[in-house]
Amino acid sequence: MISELGLVFLFLALILSSLSFIKLNLGLFNINFSSLCNIKITNVVFVLILSSFITLTYSFIQSDFSLDVVVNNSNSQLPFIYKITGVWGNHEGSILLWLLVMTFFGFIFSKVRNINYQFKELVLTIQNSLIFLVSLFIVFTSNPFRKSFPPKIEGIDLNPLLQDPGLAIHPPFLYLGYVGFSIVYSISLALISDKSNFKFIGILKPWVFISWTFLTIGIGLGSWWAYYELGWGGFWFWDPVENASLLPWLTASTLLHTILLANNNTLFFKWTIFLAIFTFILSLLGTFLVRSGVLVSVHAFANDPSRGLFILFLLLVITLFGFTRFLKVLDNKNHKEINLLSREGVISLNSIFMLSLTFTILIGTIYPIFSNVVLNKKISVGAPFFNSILSPMMIPLTIGMIVGPFIKWGQDDLKFLINRIKYVVLLVLISSLAIWYFNFGGPILSIIFFILGGSLIVSSTYELTLFFCIGKEKVKLSKKILSQILAHLGIGILIIGVTGSSILKEEKIQFQSVGEEITIKEFDIKFLGVKTIEGENYISQMGLFDIKKGGKFIKRMMPEKRFYNSGKQMTTEAAISSGIFGDLYIALGDKSENNPDEKKWTTRIWYNPFTMWIWISVILLAIAGLISFVRFSQLRL
Amino acid sequence: MKYIILIVLLLSTFFLFYEGLKNDPRIIPSNLISKEIPRFRLNSFDNKSFEDNDLRTKDLKLVNFFASWCPPCKLEHSNLIELSENLKIYGIAKKDTIKNINTWFSNMGNPYTKIGFDHDGMVSINWGVYGLPETFIINADQKIIYRHVGAITKKDMKKIKLFLDKN
């Protein structure tokens, strides 16, 4: 009964938001009905969608098997927490969550004080129109409140891979990031709707930073989940769904830089608006690629061409609307010249590199579609392509990050610059030589990237120390500098983490008999056997491994294979022993069937150097983003 | 006017996506399409032999890879019987026994003109079969013109009948 209410809320939200959509379209023809208050609509729609979402959550908790979505993604035996996360562990529910986040951002925006009333109305007209389009999508193609007929008495189950705390929080964060850019899109379009609105560019800043922060955390969590749950020994596989989240992250990272200069430079103003629009479009494109089934991806949502068609339609409307508006601003030519040797120059150059990187990854991601449609050949583009384009692009980008912060705004002088960075150069040289000397036994490519990452860490740390010991004067460390330093430090650490865990990774896959010892790096890994244990809703085979280093026992590792639903579905729970210099990673495979008397199992053992640095870098980046958010939103902490 | 290239590029990208929606990336086409049938020789159900020459006749026919141990094969069985009213269907049973097939046919009928036993799976490999069931359509010129992976459902029947009518 209560689930009908959820659908009613959804319909009411659709009807209310359609008013804003009509107003926006009439506005294009200069017809005005200004009596409509979009702020109120935003607030009511938020409450409606929130109620609808709570209703759905309630249905999941109550195991209401009269709903299709509950039948397919839940089960009365499911632990309570996964009954709740099951709400977004499927297509319909996750799109409702997406809509909820969209209305949430609109709601928060409507509550911000010190924003010109007319401007706020305009932003919310656009935001409500987006909400209308997404509600339409839900009602017509992805209704989570669809009844199952005939009603079932038990649900199938939530995909066991999703029964994991990491994945429980990954989608909400990712959506806060993706969908956060909807408000960024709305604000940008409102900014360029009229020349007199250009001055409100500052309003955009906190939204860009908070969305970027959420997106960073969301990607980080997804990657972390893939690392320990899939049992493939890696954290990034260049799957379309991963690329779909990386693309808006790259443009958003560029946006973080250009927006700081958008106040008083028309060129950067244009860059900012372009990137803001483009980032949201890329977020939507990701949704299209993953949900329509045009590409094969680890995110195997039930694909439905009618859904794909609808998202494509949304994407077309939003892209055309955004870019036709943007083209008008493009004609405004009177901007200041930019010197190459200035902070602006470096940021411009880096923006171009970042955008090239984005487009190359984009082309790699959608090339299988092109090849299929135009060349009639099925291919997939894999890691070698992406790695080989990423590596050369990272070199200028990192150098920009090392030198950039020391270059002055406006115009710099090479002589003064060299004087300013002489210690940095010296430190970088020393650390490079040290890395070369201790090169961790890796190939030349790993040395280059260790040097780049190391140099970035050194230069950022140097920049930080400048504020603590700059003679007798006490210089206050501003939030602006601190967030920039932390972010660049994060990227430096990320480079080392990624290089270590991809290029220097060691892998051993074998049939291992009980009692046999395998040596990887400096560890001796003895296989003690497999025991069966029972969990709340699964049965698990647990492998026991004793780890020794130099003959001394360190710890016991216990990777598992879990069988859910009376053995129909299996998940791998890798055992990971993390250390600052590397992770020991063990995944248990199948028992050898060649000879039943032999106690041999497939074991996959990896040594992944510096993987922990990746997670540290995500935390640093998130902190940096939050600091900037606090600074621009003028929160008092 | 000056943005015409951009607009064309944008629209063609959307057109590409639109066309892409019609394809299922999970379906991998056979390299054997419009090529001659591979050579093979197998023991047959009636204790004689079944070889590629049996397929070199001047009519349209189906070759169906199946096994009595394969549940989806049972699913498509009634559809094969329906198809067998209008054309010949040749079966290749993978890793199967006469006894098991007999039990199956006594319950559900036999749509096959001839059945070969692919005991070691070599013929299946030569045809590029990676899962059961798979069905190939062979035309009068002894060329493979269509491949269907998985069970033939009611929905697929329409597609296949349309295809058969065209040829």
Using the predicted structure, report yes or no on whether residue A413 has a pLDDT greater than 50. yes
Cβ–Cβ gap A296/B3 under 8 Å: no
Distance CA A70, CA A94 (A): 13
- Is residue B145 situated within a structural domain? yes
pLDDT category of residue B27 using cuts at 50, 70 and 90: low
- Residue with more model confidence, A291 or B82: B82
Q: Which residues pair with A609 in a beta bridge?
A: A582
B54 part of a folded domain? yes
Q: Is residue B15 part of a domain?
A: no
CB–CB of A575/A559 below 8 Å?
Answer: yes
Work out the burial of residue A81: count CB atoms within 10 Å of its CB; fewer than 13 is exposed, 13-18 middle, 19 or more buried.
exposed
Query: Are B25 and A366 a contacting pair at CB < 8 A?
Result: no
* A569 pLDDT above the threshold of 80: no
Element (H, E) at A445: helix A444-466
Domain that holds residue B102: 30-166
Q: Please name the residues in contact with A384: beta carbons below 8 A apart, sequence gap of 6 or more.
A: none
Helices (H), A469-572: 479-503
pLDDT at A475 over 60: no
Tokens of A351: 């923006």
Whole-complex ipTM:
0.82
Q: Using alpha carbons only, give the angle A374, A379, A382 rounded to the nearest 5 degrees.
A: 130
Q: Name the amino acid, one letter, at A622.
A: A
pLDDT in tens, A11-49: 999 999 999 998 888 877 666 666 678 899 999 999 999
**Any residues with CB less than 8 A from the CB of B108 and at least 6 apart, and which?**
B74, B77, B78, B81
Look at residue A441 in the predicted model and tell me its pLDDT.
66
- For residue A163, the model assigns a pLDDT of 84
Amino acid occupying residue A158:
L
pLDDT of residue A107 exceeding 80: yes
Distance to chain B for A374, nearest Cα, Å? 8
Contacts of B29 in chain A (CB under 8 A): 378
Cβ count near A140 (within 10 Å): 12
Question: Which pLDDT score, from 0 to 100, does residue A303 have?
Answer: 60
**8 A C-beta contact, residue A259 and residue A208:** yes
Domain contains B4: no
d(CA A555, CA A577): 9
* Best of A278, A288, A372 to mutate (most B CBs within 10 Å, chain B): A372
> What distance lies between CA A207 and its chain's CA centroid?
16
Q: Which residues pair with A530 in a beta bridge?
A: A543
Reduced to 3 states (helix: H, G, I; strand: E, B; else coil), residue A26 is helix
pLDDT tops 90 at residue A298:
no
Mean pLDDT across the stretch A504-519? 88
SS3 (DSSP) at B111: coil
Share of chain A above pLDDT 70, in %: 92
Select the more confidently predicted residue: A597 or A129: A129
CB-closest option in B16, B21, B26 to A308? B21
Q: How far is B15 from chain A (nearest CA, A)?
A: 10
Lowest mean pLDDT among A264-268, A549-553, A564-568, B72-76: A564-568
DSSP H or E stretch at residue B163 = helix B154-166
Say what the pLDDT of residue A32 is.
Answer: 65
Alpha carbons A380 and A367: distance in angstroms, whole number = 8
Distance CA B143, CA B137 (A): 8
* Rounded distance between C-alpha atoms, residue A319 and residue A281, angstroms: 6
Average pLDDT over residues A548-564: 90
Report pTM.
0.84
Contact with chain B for residue A373, Cβ under 8 A: yes
Give the CATH number, domain containing residue B75: 3.40.30.10
Q: Which residue type occupies A368?
A: P
Query: Which pairing describes strands B61-66 and B88-94: parallel, antiparallel, or unpaired?
Result: parallel
How many angstroms separate the CA atoms of B50 and B62, rounded?
Answer: 14
Nearest to A372 among B13, B18, B20 (CB): B20
Here the tokens at position B5 are: 């290239």
Sheet holding A582-591: strands in order across?
A506-513, A600-609, A582-591, A575-578
pLDDT at A299: 61
**Inside any domain, residue B22:** no
Return the residue in A277, A323, A373, A377 with the most chain B beta carbons within 10 A, the one to mutate for interface testing.
A373
Of A296-305, B42-51, B157-166, the least confident = A296-305
Q: Which of A173, A354, A335 is nearest to A275 (CA)?
A: A354
Q: What is the pLDDT of residues A301-349, one digit of tens each?
A: 556 677 889 999 999 999 999 988 898 887 766 667 778 888 889 999 9
| Phi, psi at A628, each rounded to 5° | -65, -40
What's A407-426 look like in SS3?
A: CCCCCCCHHHHHHHHHHHHH
pLDDT (tens digit, 9 = 90+) per residue, A219-252?
999 899 888 887 777 889 898 888 999 999 999 9
| pLDDT of A52 above 90 | yes
DSSP H/E element including A108: helix A91-111
How far apart (Å, rounded) are the C-alpha atoms in residues A289 and A312? 9
In A194-291, which ranges are E strands?
Answer: none
Backbone angles phi, psi at B27, to 5 degrees: -85, 120
CA-nearest residue of chain B to A319? Answer: B10
Dihedrals phi, psi of A63, to nearest 5 degrees? 50, 55
Please, are residues A90 and A170 in contact by the beta-carbon 8 Å criterion?
A: no
Q: What is residue A113's predicted lDDT score, i.e. its pLDDT?
A: 84
- CB-CB under 8 Å, B20 with A294: yes
Strands B114-118, B134-138: pairing kind: unpaired
Q: How confident is the model at residue A637 (pLDDT cuts 50, 70, 90)?
A: very low
pLDDT in tens, A149-179: 777 888 888 888 788 887 788 889 999 999 9
Give me Rg for the CA atoms of chain B: 20
Per the CB < 8 A criterion, the answer to whether A229 and A572 are in contact is: yes
- Looking at the complex, does the CB of residue A312 fall below 8 Å from at least one CB of chain B? yes
Q: Helices (DSSP H) in A262-377: which residue ranges?
A: 266-291, 305-330, 343-373
The H or E element spanning position A548 is strand A538-549
In-domain check, residue B73: yes
Q: SS3 of A580, please?
A: coil
Phi, psi of B83 (to 5 degrees): -65, -30
Q: Which residue of chain A has the CA closest to B1?
A: A327
**What is residue A360's predicted lDDT score, i.e. its pLDDT?**
94
Residue B98 lies in a domain: yes
- A513 forms bridges with which residues in the sheet? A600
Residue B14 domain-assigned?
A: no
Displacement of CA A267 from its chain's centroid (Å): 28
Contacts of A188 (CB under 8 A, 6+ apart): A204, A272, A273, A276, A277, A322
pLDDT tens per residue across span B93-139 = 988 888 888 888 888 888 998 899 988 888 888 888 877 889 998 88
Q: Are strands B144-149 and B134-138 parallel, antiparallel or unpaired?
A: antiparallel
| Count of structural domains, chain B | 1
Q: Is the pLDDT of residue A208 over 90?
A: yes
Rg (CA), chain A: 27
Is the CB of residue A186 less than 8 Å from the CB of residue A179? no
Question: Tell me: the pLDDT tens digits for B49-104?
Answer: 888 888 888 888 899 999 887 777 888 888 899 888 888 899 999 888 888 888 88
CB contact, 8 Å: B3 with chain A?
yes
Joined tokens for residue A262:
């958008």
Residues 13-72 of chain B whose Cβ lies under 8 A from any Cβ of chain A: 13-14, 16-26, 28-29
Contact B21 A374 (CB under 8 A): no
Q: Say how far apart CA A410 and CA A419 lie, in whole Å.
A: 18
Cα–Cα distance measured from residue A540 to residue B33, given in angstroms and rounded to the nearest whole number: 45
Q: CB distance B25–A368 less than 8 Å? A: yes
